[in-house]
Amino acid sequence: MNKEIVKKCFISRYDETIKVAPFLTIKIGEVDVVEPKIDDLGHEFAQRLVGACRSKGYIFKFYTKSSLDGFDYELVVY
């Protein structure tokens, strides 16, 4: 039986008060995204991440591995 793989993600944006490196992000939300079983170089998964951000009213910028326990990815938005 093929189970869907759900990735737990948190949505963040850059802290605008920090003007020099290291730049930090602020967590502003959470979302679960289903990872496709077959994906051409991650394109479909990235499109799902974009859609998840859009559904919350954010514009997707990029994603990276999460630094927070319990989350798979950090989605950075504008």
Mean pLDDT of 32-58: 94
Rounded to an integer, what distance in angstroms lies between the CA atom of residue 2 and that of residue 67?
29
Rounded to an integer, what distance in angstroms lies between the CA atom of residue 76 and that of residue 25?
8
Parent domain of 30: 5-77
Q: 0.85 cut: is pTM over it?
A: yes
Asked if 9 and 52 touch (Cβ cutoff 8 Å), the reply is yes
Task: Tell me the residue type at 1.
Answer: M
Asked if 42 and 48 touch (Cβ cutoff 8 Å), the reply is no
Mean pLDDT of 47-62: 97
Choice between 18 and 4, residue whose per-residue pLDDT is larger: 18
- Count structural domains, the chain: 1
